[in-house]
Structure 1
């Protein structure tokens, strides 16, 4: 049995007239390596509440097993720093809306070791619980996905290969804490849009490039991303805030779930107000990458980790409508049913009937859900402007415009239930006949990214 030690400091209430405790928001600060599995023992010191004059307090140490269940406790006395230290060095204790962030080297992990040193900083730090994600996802090899694929999925979700040389340096989100512009929000149609922060050669975009891209993204309330590589949660979050948009963030790989959650938590920096949803995987069952049971287990793990970090928003998995219909447990485990659905790949609908196609498909999914009234959100839909024809589905700029118009009309009363695919052409992808050689050309209005 592996044991994780959590230390919680409890300080007695001082009998001071009109004195109130100053609580400081806790954050996770972790430098992670992409795709590095993390398991083993973690020792973290959590400082929860700071008062003015206490000098010695009892510290309760709780020993838990790998499942997080307490098995024993012990108590010891620990010294408290000089009561005047905070006020002398920092003035008044920070209000709940401010936070002090330790340097990026304060806590570190490596691919060969999962031990984490206790942190000493001017603000308390809470580390995400360590969960053996491999155990949750191991069933993917023994339980095949039961999926009937009527048409190939449009989104090739494999992120471009990145290394430490191509990934941009970590960008602080502190500058984005200022009030966001509300002009674009007030002009928003309410629809969402997907975005990928990669250059045409597959390398990572910088904060400046992402900001440039977002300057030309107007009329949308939500933006969807798919992973955590390329520092994209931080860069997209900064650009989205400036446009008054909220983020639908994604966890790409179940095998690196805990580190990807840590990356999202670090980017949020204690402020979850700009996060609408966090998804666990994209079309993993449809592609045969994972079984439905493995994805459901990962949703539960992610939800637990995120809740421990202060996130109380929506957690879902995204798959194709066909895969979700064959595996309704994906929706049952999600806070709403999130599916990708593309009329182009059906082939029996013309571009002008794209909205009708979605309206025809949604009831077939609702029929198999445990909760027949569960919200269904179309997390990808659109039309390519270039590529090969698929029966009645013909790629062209004119047909793309007709398809988008049809979709918007069909969901005019619930625009937040649709994400259009995609903001710009994805030239870093590889075209294939299975995708009708259209994979790179779904950018709305045929646009390439303005930043390259």
Structure 2
């Protein structure tokens, strides 16, 4: 089985994770910690099983061997080489915003999807800019699945209704609907608020004919500290970004994420675990062993793909020039795009 989960630091503490990633909901000014990549992990007794073997425990202080680089015949996901690689088993996060923070049109979204069409699923974070409808149109045209999202837990009824309206009775391309993203890690909501919102959303979605997954997404630290989040979800959905740990090099990114995925699965009683964000920036400031560069982005994504053959959400499709940096983002907030700048 495969596991996926990438986020900052291998800490078991209940304190908020130091990861600082602003999320792609244009109309939200809140500083949200986020990193994107998805991988599904199935735990057995309760342990993640990868390639038939349970992975060893891993932390940033361990001298774990770096995964070997992918062979040259399998291009890594960079703006120049990614189009030739097979990413059909992976999910990619996507934000439909222009660099000036305006909403992308349907034609612009379609153009973006001509570049990223090789993925099996696309993750979005909210419903602003009518993005559920525009991205769903592009997803259907490319034969992909959609990981839709409600961004504001306090506005769950209205956002779920927008998703229902976009589906218009056809849920065949929907895989998951997430309720919130890192709201516990950021201190935006209480666990009770999020759990209640999941229940509200699930009831409304089921009444509209949806039978797929409903989850909340948070950092692996928040998920481990608050197993009620995964208990209320159809699977454990956790973000994991090795870059923000400071003790993990690009070559070790996959092993770091794999180790955190195992911890989440164990904390959630062996529940299936999906890594809903993970990646590496191509530019910015160095954070300990984590050095942002195009070469290291390639190395990190190769490492993640070596650890996970599928079921992981890679963060992110394109550089998000609409985002703003702060002291906690190491000047890298705009440079997580696997395919560079949007066309």
Is the TM value for this pair above 0.5?
Answer: yes
CA offset at residue 363 of structure 1?
Answer: 2.1
Question: Could you say which residue in structure 1 is the equivalent of 2:151?
Answer: 252
Give me the whole-angstrom Cα distance separating, in 1, the residues matched to 2:17 and 2:191. 18
CA offset at residue 188 of structure 1?
Answer: 4.5
Checking the alignment, whether the CA contact within 8 Å between 2:27 and 2:128 is kept in structure 1 is no
TM-score for the superposition, normalised by structure 1: 0.59
Give me the whole-angstrom Cα distance separating, in 1, the residues matched to 2:229 and 2:272. 13
Q: Secondary structure at the match of 1:444?
A: coil
Residue 284 (1) aligns with residue 183 (2):
yes
Residue 159 (1) aligns with residue 25 (2):
yes
Q: Secondary structure at the match of 1:247?
A: strand
Match of 2:93 among 194, 205, 214: 194
CA offset at residue 150 of structure 1?
Answer: 4.1
Question: Could you say which residue in structure 2 is the equivalent of 1:448?
Answer: 341
Residue 385 (1) aligns with residue 282 (2):
yes
Checking the alignment, whether the CA contact within 8 Å between 1:188 and 1:218 is kept in structure 2 is no
Checking the alignment, whether the CA contact within 8 Å between 1:226 and 1:251 is kept in structure 2 is yes
CA offset at residue 426 of structure 1?
Answer: 0.4
CA offset at residue 200 of structure 1?
Answer: 0.3
Q: Secondary structure at the match of 2:211?
A: coil
Checking the alignment, whether the CA contact within 8 Å between 2:236 and 2:265 is kept in structure 1 is no
Question: Could you say which residue in structure 2 is the equivalent of 1:406?
Answer: 303
Residue 262 (1) aligns with residue 128 (2):
no
Give me the whole-angstrom Cα distance separating, in 2, the residues matched to 1:149 and 1:241. 37
CA offset at residue 293 of structure 1?
Answer: 1.1
Question: Could you say which residue in structure 2 is the equivalent of 1:80?
Answer: none
TM-score for the superposition, normalised by structure 2: 0.78
Structure 1's unaligned 5+ residue stretches are: 1-145, 163-183
Checking the alignment, whether the CA contact within 8 Å between 1:153 and 1:320 is kept in structure 2 is no
Residue 148 (1) aligns with residue 20 (2):
no
Q: Secondary structure at the match of 2:267?
A: coil
Question: Could you say which residue in structure 2 is the equivalent of 1:15?
Answer: none
Checking the alignment, whether the CA contact within 8 Å between 2:24 and 2:95 is kept in structure 1 is no
Aligned length: 276
Checking the alignment, whether the CA contact within 8 Å between 2:177 and 2:215 is kept in structure 1 is yes
Question: Could you say which residue in structure 1 is the equivalent of 2:236?
Answer: 337
Cα deviation code 1:275-295 (max 9, x no counterpart): 000000000000000011110
Q: Secondary structure at the match of 1:380?
A: strand
Residue 206 (1) aligns with residue 105 (2):
yes
Checking the alignment, whether the CA contact within 8 Å between 2:317 and 2:338 is kept in structure 1 is yes
Give me the whole-angstrom Cα distance separating, in 1, the residues matched to 2:18 and 2:211. 35
Give me the whole-angstrom Cα distance separating, in 1, the residues matched to 2:241 and 2:20. 8
Give me the whole-angstrom Cα distance separating, in 1, the residues matched to 2:284 and 2:265. 32
Checking the alignment, whether the CA contact within 8 Å between 1:147 and 1:285 is kept in structure 2 is no
Q: Secondary structure at the match of 1:204?
A: coil
CA offset at residue 189 of structure 1?
Answer: 2.8
Cα deviation code 1:288-333 (max 9, x no counterpart): 0001111001000000000000001000000000111111110010
Checking the alignment, whether the CA contact within 8 Å between 2:17 and 2:219 is kept in structure 1 is no
Question: Could you say which residue in structure 2 is the equivalent of 1:424?
Answer: 318
Q: Secondary structure at the match of 1:279?
A: strand
CA offset at residue 148 of structure 1?
Answer: 1.4
Checking the alignment, whether the CA contact within 8 Å between 2:315 and 2:336 is kept in structure 1 is yes
CA offset at residue 365 of structure 1?
Answer: 1.9
Give me the whole-angstrom Cα distance separating, in 1, the residues matched to 2:192 and 2:155. 17
CA offset at residue 214 of structure 1?
Answer: 0.5
Checking the alignment, whether the CA contact within 8 Å between 1:387 and 1:436 is kept in structure 2 is yes
Cα deviation code 1:343-370 (max 9, x no counterpart): 101111110011000112122222322x
Q: Secondary structure at the match of 2:328?
A: helix
Give me the whole-angstrom Cα distance separating, in 2, the residues matched to 1:265 and 1:358. 33
Checking the alignment, whether the CA contact within 8 Å between 1:342 and 1:383 is kept in structure 2 is yes
Higher relative contact order (CA 8 A, sep 6+): 2
Question: Could you say which residue in structure 2 is the equivalent of 1:438?
Answer: 332
Structure 2's unaligned 5+ residue stretches are: 1-12, 29-82
Q: Which runs of 4+ in 1 moved over 3 A?
A: none
Give me the whole-angstrom Cα distance separating, in 1, the residues matched to 2:16 and 2:257. 17
Alignment of 1:65-144 (within 5 A): none
Give me the whole-angstrom Cα distance separating, in 2, the residues matched to 1:342 and 1:392. 13
Checking the alignment, whether the CA contact within 8 Å between 1:421 and 1:444 is kept in structure 2 is yes
Match of 1:375 among 266, 272, 279: 272
